[in-house]
Every structure is written in C-alpha cells, then in structure tokens.
C-alpha cells in the first residue's frame, strides 16, 4: 500500500520541535512581561534601569531598520524630485530676482537692530549645541509620545535639555543612558511649552494632546481670538527652551483655545539637535549655619 501524502503534524518530529519551541517562547515572554510589570509597580528606579538597558540593546537594530525603511520609501520621492528639478530651479531663480530688494532691506534692518541693541546694552544669551544624533524611533500608537535618541550621557546629553529639528521644536530629554536618551515629545500630554505669537507677541502655553496635535491657550488675555495660520515660537520663559524656536501653527479660527499642528514631525526626521537649556538652573540655596553652642 502506498504511503499517505498528507500526514498529520503529530507524526513529524520537526513539527513537534517547532511547536514545543513556540510554547517555550510564549511562556518565557509571559514570564518576562509579568516580571517587568511587578518591577515597574514595586521599584520604578530599577525598572528605569532595565528599560535603559533594553534601549541600549535594541537601538542599533532599530537604527539599521530605520535606515533601510527611509532608503526604500525615499526611492519614489527621489525619482519625482529628479524629474521636477528643472522646473524647480526656474521657479527658484525667479524668486531670487523678486526677493533681492527684500533681502537688502532685511540686511539694513539687521544692522539697525544690532546698532540699537548696542545702544541699549541688551545682553543676549546664545544657545549651545550639545550633540547631533539620530532619532531612532517615535511612539505613535499610544497617548504617551516618546522618542529614542542614539546619544546619551557619554555624549553630554542630560535630563531637561531641549531637542529641536530643522523645522522646529521636538521636545526635551526625559531619561538618559550611556548611549541613548528618551525624549518627551512636545505632543505628549505631559509636555508644557511657553510660547508667543509672532505677529503680535502675545504669550501662550502649548500642551500636547497625545494624538499628534497641540493645544494653545493664552497666558494673559481671556477669550483671545486665534486665526488660522498663526505661528507660535518659544518665548524663553521657564529657562528650558531658547526663544524663537518654531513650535506650532494654528489650524482654524477660534477663541480661547486653539488646535494647532506641530511644525516638527519626529516620524519624518532623521536627526535632531540637543541643546543646553536657555538659562542654567539656579544654584541651590545655601544651608543655614547652625548657631554656635
């Protein structure tokens, strides 16, 4: 009698091994998850150390996968940019000719502004760059919004330092490990950024919503009108974020509370700049000396 072609998996030793390994992996994963859950509840500092160690192990793999994904997804865009480069160059040349007068006027205003600052003895504090690193990943599937930076305290990154990209503010450093750092994004609900409106200097407060958008409230005027397209930049209040970093643009006309879109999208950024806080933290108050006995 000829042997049967379709044999059940139970007769295959290889299938039994694969099934057994799957059960073992599932059990180990469940055990590891339970241990981490208990550790995060009973000992948060130890859990933070374990989380930092996991970031150190997974960041190189995430960096490689991120680079491959960016390279593959960038092929169609590169082809489109290649065919449109000639028309783009023509438009840019026309824009340069039209804007020469505006550039000259802007240069005169810069010189006049510098002269007035010297007359008023205004003291400016420049920003100091700490590190330029790659944004490995950013959480986008939960209400808490974090990102991982492949630079840590060995590269000078410290907790509380602001993080920005070419388009605007990204967030601030929340945790550090030797070669990685955890970034609290500006769109996270726990993020609070003091800002001002560029067209009139009205101060405001930007908070995250957890869904990729921001909320802007006025810091001084009740029932403040917002217009679609209003641009808000950091004000420097609080001493963390340097003034003038673009943060958000209002989406629609409203009053008192505005919905805005962040100008910097971490999901589309490759690199970010870590800077020192705008103002250093104040020194600790001296301890009162004990009275002599």
Are residues 274 and 130 in contact, defined by beta-carbon separation less than 8 angstroms? yes
Q: What angle do CA 38, 42, 46 make, to 5 degrees?
A: 90
Cα dihedral across residues 81, 86, 92, 94: positive or negative:
negative
Distances (CA, A) of 179 to 1, 130, 133, 212: 66, 14, 10, 27
Three-class SS of residue 199?
coil
Per-residue pLDDT of the chain (293 residues; tens, 9 = 90+): 455 555 554 557 777 777 888 888 888 878 877 877 777 777 777 777 777 777 777 777 777 777 777 777 767 777 767 667 777 787 888 888 777 777 777 777 777 777 776 666 555 566 688 888 888 877 766 677 888 888 888 988 999 899 998 888 999 999 888 888 999 999 998 999 999 998 888 899 999 988 888 999 988 877 788 999 899 999 888 888 988 889 999 999 988 888 999 998 877 878 889 998 887 666 666 666 655 55
Angle, helix 44-120 to helix 13-42, in steps of 10 degrees: 60
CATH architecture of 125-279: Beta Barrel (2.40)
Tokens of 218: 């006025």
Residue 270: closest CA among 120, 199, 170: 170
Positions of E strands within the chain: 129-138, 146-149, 162-164, 169-176, 181-185, 192-197, 203-208, 214-218, 225-226, 231-234, 246-250, 254-255, 257-262, 271-275
Residue 232 pairs in a beta bridge with 197, 248
Close Cβ partners of 100 (under 8 Å, ≥ 6 residues apart): none
Task: Count Cβ atoms within 10 A of the Cβ of residue 121 and give its class: 0-12 exposed, 13-18 middle, 19 or more buried.
Answer: exposed
Q: Where are the domains of the chain?
A: 12-42, 125-279
């Amino acid at each position: 009698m000829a042997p049967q072609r379709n044999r059940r998996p139970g007769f295959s030793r290889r299938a039994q091994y694969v099934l057994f390994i799957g059960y073992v992996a599932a059990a180990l994963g469940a055990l590891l998850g339970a241990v981490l859950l208990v550790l995060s509840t009973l000992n948060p500092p130890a859990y933070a150390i374990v989380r930092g160690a996991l970031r150190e192990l997974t960041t190189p793999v995430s960096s490689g996968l991120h680079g491959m994904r960016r390279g593959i997804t960038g092929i169609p865009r590169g082809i489109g940019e290649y065919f449109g480069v000639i028309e783009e160059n023509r438009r840019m040349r026309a824009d340069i000719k039209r804007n020469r007068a505006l550039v000259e006027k802007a240069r005169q205003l810069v010189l006049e502004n510098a002269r007035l600052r010297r007359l008023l003895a205004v003291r400016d504090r420049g920003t100091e760059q700490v590190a330029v690193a790659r944004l490995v990943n950013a959480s986008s599937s939960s209400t808490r919004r974090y990102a991982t930076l492949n630079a840590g305290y060995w590269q000078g990154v410290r907790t509380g330092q602001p993080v920005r990209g070419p388009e605007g503010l990204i967030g601030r450093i929340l945790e550090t490990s030797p070669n990685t750092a955890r970034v609290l994004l500006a769109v996270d609900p726990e993020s609070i950024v003091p800002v001002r409106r560029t067209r009139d200097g009205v101060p405001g407060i930007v908070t995250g919503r957890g869904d990729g958008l921001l909320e802007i409230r006025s810091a001084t005027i009740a029932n403040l009108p917002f217009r679609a397209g209003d641009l808000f930049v950091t004000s420097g209040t609080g001493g963390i974020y340097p003034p003038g970093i673009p943060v958000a643009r209002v989406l629609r006309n409203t009053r008192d509370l505005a919905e805005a879109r962040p100008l910097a999208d971490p999901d589309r950024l490759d690199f970010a700049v870590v800077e020192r806080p705008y103002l250093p933290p104040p020194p600790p108050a001296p301890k009162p000396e004990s009275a002599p006995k």
